[in-house]
Amino acid sequence: MEPHGFFTDTSVCIGCKACEVACKQWNQLPADGAYFSGRSYDNTLHLESTTWRHVAFLEHSRQLSGQTTARPFSWLFLSDVCKHCNRAGCLEACPTGALVRTEFASVYLQPDVCNGCGYCVVACPFGVINRREDDGRAWKCTLCYDRQKVGLEPACAKTCPTDSIFFGPVEELKVRAQARLLELHRKGVHEARLYGMTELDQPGTEGLNAFFLLLDRPEAYNLPPEPRVPTKEAGRAWGMMGLAALGMVAAAIAAVRAGGEE
């Protein structure tokens, strides 16, 4: 089966949160964020165990190129979601097999197998996965695996009124993303860039199956500029520990010899 995923074009997102609501409704997720956070109009703040799509409201301190009216700031919107990484730290860290790779190349978390250890939580470089307070188990976006199995697109993409969220075969989405990037550059929006589309762009995750078109640096959207899967660094870390241990042994031997000579 050909890998499927998301291409999210933030340049046409209007912050309506329809995707967020559709995700909650379809997946029967409990309500949260029913308060005024003080962070602009963002009440849910970040991805959570009960919020698998999160629309971030970001007040940008400068005007974007291509805008014709003078404004003290610009709005940046981002409909964030699990990235379904090609190399997924959560999947590699899971000791129970609760996290699996589906036939669509998405990373699916089986709640009936999860033991709530939390290893996946700390292994995700994007802070996507969290545990619920009521049962302690981890939860995240499933890429609407149940809908995909019957030929339907995920609820968030189906609901988006501006076609900010595209769903389909990843290779087709990459072509669409490149065309959209060139279009924006021709229109003078030189800040536009793609995030996470290829392994060259993100060697630490070997590319994402849910990637984005951004209108500023990733940091402006609270996205890590160079995310790295912790398990990818494990070999290097053990190697450094081995060198340190050899150094300590060599120092100890030298000290013993020096003491014997005295």
58 CB-contact burial (10 Å; exposed 0-12 / middle 13-18 / buried 19+): buried
Residue 72 labeled ligand binder? no
Residue 94 labeled ligand binder? yes
The CA distance from 256 to 250, in Å, is 10
The encoded tokens of residue 210 equal: 């849910």
Residue 231 labeled ligand binder? no
Residue 156 labeled ligand binder? yes
Residue 214 labeled ligand binder? no
Residue 250 labeled ligand binder? no
Residue 187 labeled ligand binder? no
The CA distance from 45 to 31, in Å, is 13
Residues 230-253 as b or e (16 or more Cβ within 10 Å = b): bbbeeeeeeeeeeeeeeeeeeeee
Residue 117 labeled ligand binder? yes
Residue 174 labeled ligand binder? no
Residue 240 labeled ligand binder? no
The CA distance from 25 to 46, in Å, is 18
Whether residue 60 contacts residue 76, with contact meaning beta carbons closer than 8 Å, is answered with yes
Residues annotated within the binding site for [4Fe-4S] cluster are 13, 16, 19, 23, 82, 85, 90, 94, 114, 117, 120, 124, 141, 144, 156, 160
Residues annotated within the binding site are 13, 16, 19, 23, 82, 85, 90, 94, 114, 117, 120, 124, 141, 144, 156, 160
